Structure 1
Amino acid sequence: MSKEELLEFEGTVTDILPDARFRVTLDNDHEIIAYTAGRMKKHRIRTLVGDRVTVEMTPYDLDKGRIVYRHKDERAPATRGQARRNFRRR
């Protein structure tokens, strides 16, 4: 399948599921199961509940998708535990 056939939607992460999967509610109120793209895993981009994301989907299966971008402007508010995680782990 070529890249021209993919559909892109924007949505909000509503739940974190096992096996690095996420429940995403799209802007058209459709819920899908999405996984993080390899590029995002490679650069260690974390996705949290409440984040705005861009999802790529195939027209053949509209219940699954791949998260390709996390929008920086509209982040979930950081909790007390998340605010302290600004140090670098080795």
Structure 2
Amino acid sequence: MSTDRKKRRQLEAKIIEVLPRSLFKVKIEDGREVLCHVALPVRNTVGRVLEGDRVLVELSEYDPKRGRIVEHRSSSPR
């Protein structure tokens, strides 16, 4: 794994919509909406990611409207 991965921008976000094919629409704290997928290590450790959950998102350096969920912070009250 390269050291560039550590330099990527990570931001707090909230899941606002669960989409088909394991995609999620999240809202970053600055108000932007980003389309994300769940990183494999997170998918293996967290059972389900649901609407309202707080997550840490790593934005793509090539497309700022896409990213991946790299950490599950907290669940919404159900």
Please give the range of the TM-score, normalised by the shorter of the 2 chains.
Answer: 0.7 to 0.9
CA distance in 2, matches of 1:66, 1:55: 6
Pick the aligned partner of 1:11 from 10, 13, 16. Answer: 13
Q: Does 1:38 align with 2:34?
A: no
Local SS of the residue matching 1:42? helix
Runs of 4+ residues deviating >6 angstroms: none
Q: In structure 1, which of residues 20, 24, 28 is the aligned counterpart of residue 30 of structure 2?
A: 28
How many residue pairs were aligned? 76
Question: Gaps spanning 5+ residues in structure 2: where?
Answer: none
Alignment partners' CA distance in 1, 2:46 and 2:54: 17
Q: Distance in 2 between the 1:4 and 1:40 partners?
A: 16
**Cα deviations by residue, 1:49-74 (Å, 9 ceiling, x for unpaired):** 000100001222101000011113xx
Q: C-alpha separation between the residues in 2 aligned to 1:26 and 1:69?
A: 14
| Structure 1: gaps spanning 5 or more residues | 79-90
Distance (whole Å) between structure 2 residues aligned to residue 12 and residue 59 of structure 1: 20
Larger Rg: 1
Q: Which amino acid aligns with 2:16?
A: T
In the alignment, which residue of structure 2 is the partner of 1:56? 58
Q: C-alpha root-mean-square deviation of aligned residues, in Å? A: 1.5
Length-normalised TM-score, structure 1? 0.76
Secondary structure of residue in 1 paired with 2:47: coil
